[in-house]
Amino acid sequence: MLLNFDKLCVDLEKQELEAPNGIPPALVYAQLLGVYLYQNDLCNAKFLWKRIPQSITSSNPEIGAIWAVGQKLWKKDLAGTYVALSRYNWTEPVLNIMRALEAVLVKNYLKTLDWEVLPHPPYSPDIALSDYHLFWSMAHTLSEQRLTLYEDTKNWVDSWIASKYKEFCRLGIQTLPER
């Protein structure tokens, strides 16, 4: 996975500036647009979108999908941003950028909730301690519900999470039995 998006951004901007006839390949535009979103540089993302030739945007749906994410970010529509991120099957060069963007969005959202994020080893077969209490409680409450539509389910989960006070997971973790 790419880690130095600042360097990538500089490289992509240079490729755009030095491209023959001032028009780089579509992949340069796609990656640069994604990096601007990752950096939360929405103004540069919007300016880039406006200067990408229409022939490129119309023949490359991935660029349009990236901009759809940007529009949701511009409107501060976090739920819509996640939908836009998940709707498209990103190509490999763009996938790493979009995954990093999603990770940053989740991390920032968790900060707004004032939740402590506990370390959890990647690819661990065990569920994270913070998730155990959360999912057990959610499953218990959800068993009483009859939701048939995706939107109803999404709204229920959103409202259920919003109804939890910030000490909810901490208390749940503290009451877990020792192994």
Residue with tokens 């155990």: 132
The structure tokens listed for 105 are 């969005």
Give the angle 70-73-76 at the CA atoms, nearest 5°. 155
Higher pLDDT, 22 or 52: 52
Roughly what angle, to the nearest 10 degrees, separates helices 26-38 and 42-51? Answer: 160
The predicted structure's pLDDT at residue 89: 93
**Predicted TM-score (pTM) above 0.85:** no
Give 151's pLDDT tier (boundaries 50, 70, 90). confident
Q: What proportion of the chain, given as a percentage, has pLDDT over 70?
A: 83
pLDDT at 78 > cutoff 60: yes
> Which tens digits make up the pLDDT trace of 90-108?
999 999 999 999 999 988 8
Distances (CA, A) of 129 to 42, 125, 141, 156, 169: 36, 12, 19, 23, 9
